Chains A and B, each alone.
Chain A
Amino acid sequence: MDKKNKKQKKKTGNIWIFPSLVIAIYVALFFVDQDKTLHALDYAANLFADIVPILFAVLFFMFLFNLVDDKKLKNLIDRSPKAVQYIAMLLLGTFSHGPVYAWYPLMREFREKGIGYGSIAIFLYARGIKLSLLPMLAVYFGFKYMLALTAAMIFFSFVQGILVDILMEKISKTH
């Protein structure tokens, strides 16, 4: 029990290392260029405010996902072909909104429930296809370019999923 508590404490401590380092950079930069550093802080604050609704949506999805029975889900995943899992994750990724890091907690839930690394990689890659921004992409770079880029990204999201699954399996076999 003591060991478990210590491990948990160490894990909680690790969470603060990265943000503490970033704050230290801010403090250092504040002495170099006060205006720019404050501008960066202001930009970050606005960005964080922008992603709050997304975070609530992610929390809601995580809750829904946690309601699903682990065994039933595992059975469903085991029974469904990889291709179906890949397509489902591609669609989920394409239709998801907000910054990618807001979706990491949900992806961890997916992983803990048995969804493969390849499928998670497809979700994260497909997030690069921004449906709402396609008109803007077409205006900036042309309609043909927009279509070609979207098609290429869909194709290569599957390629990445397959490669990640193969490589992760190889790694787990060697360790």
Chain B
Amino acid sequence: MNKRKSKKQIFIKTCKGFLKNIPMMAGVVLLIGLLKTFVTFEAISNLFTGKPLADTALGALSGSILAGNSINSYIIGKEMLDSGISILAVTAFLVAWVTVGFVQIPAEAKMLGNRFTIMRNLLSVILSILVSITTVWIIGGIS
């Protein structure tokens, strides 16, 4: 009986803790809605210059700012590739899209701490460039 009561208490405590996170998540979701609607593919592709290194960094940055379903990143990435943007930049964009979340930083910082969040996101931006270089090197795109 005691055990069952303690489980109930744990469940209530878990629910209370969980509900506290909902406003932050709602904020993130609302912000994603704004980005998805107001930032167009043309706006993204216009940023690229044709210089591989600068474009890779831009790919990582734009992927970090944008958020949403990964399917969207594949579609945008394919269009970027078809419009002549380098595979290095596209890969950095794809990786940053799924590993960095500038939009989610307020929620992440609230739940996991400022230092960890800033460090993790900064490292992820840098690593998205390294993942891109490694991937393209493996497939033989870098001689």
Closest 3 CB pairs of A and B: A44-B33, A19-B27, A128-B98
- B131 cross-chain contacts in A, Cβ below 8 A: 149, 152-153, 156
Contact in complex: B108, A101 (CB < 8 Å)? yes
For the complex with contacts A67-B7, A111-B112, A164-B116, 8 further pairs of A-B residues with Cβ separation under 8 Å are A19-B30, A36-B38, A67-B10, A105-B17, A149-B131, A151-B138, A167-B119, A171-B115
Contact in complex: A149, B110 (CB < 8 Å)? no
- Nearest to A104 among chain B residues (CB) is B111
- B138 cross-chain contacts in A, Cβ below 8 A: 148, 151-152
- Nearest to A129 among chain B residues (CB) is B98
Per-position contact with A for B81-117: 1 when CB-CB < 8 Å, else 0?
A: 1000000000100110011010010111011100110
Q: Which of B74, B115, B123, B124 is close to A140, meaning CB atoms less than 8 Å apart? A: B74
Minimum CB–CB distance from B109 to chain A (whole Å) comes to 9
Knowing A62-B17, A104-B111, say if A18 contacts B38 (CB, 8 Å).
no
* A interface bracket (residues with beta carbon within 8 Å of B): 35 or more
Contact in complex: B107, A124 (CB < 8 Å)? no
Q: Which of A42, A107, A164 is close to B123, meaning CB atoms less than 8 Å apart? A: A164
- The A-B contact count (CB < 8 A) is 175
Per-position contact with A for B4-21: 1 when CB-CB < 8 Å, else 0?
A: 000100110111011011
Instruction: Pick from B14, B29, B99, B123 the residue with the most CB of A within 10 Å.
Output: B29
* B interface bracket (residues with beta carbon within 8 Å of A): 35 or more
- A104 cross-chain contacts in B, Cβ below 8 A: 21, 107-108, 111-112
> B: which residues have CB within 8 A of A?
7, 10-11, 13-15, 17-18, 20-21, 23-34, 36-38, 68, 70-71, 74-75, 77-78, 81, 91, 94-95, 98-99, 101, 104, 106-108, 110-112, 115-116, 119-120, 123-124, 127, 130-131, 134-135, 138-139
- B31 cross-chain contacts in A, Cβ below 8 A: 22, 25
Contact in complex: A130, B34 (CB < 8 Å)? no
Knowing A51-B29, A62-B18, A124-B120, say if A15 contacts B7 (CB, 8 Å).
no
- B21 cross-chain contacts in A, Cβ below 8 A: 104-105
Knowing A44-B29, A128-B99, say if A136 contacts B71 (CB, 8 Å).
yes
Knowing A63-B14, A102-B25, A152-B135, say if A40 contacts B98 (CB, 8 Å).
no
5 contacts between A and B (CB under 8 A): A15-B110, A18-B106, A43-B33, A149-B95, A152-B138
Q: Which of B24, B25, B71 is close to A133, meaning CB atoms less than 8 Å apart? A: B71
Minimum CB–CB distance from B87 to chain A (whole Å) comes to 8
- A127 cross-chain contacts in B, Cβ below 8 A: 98-99
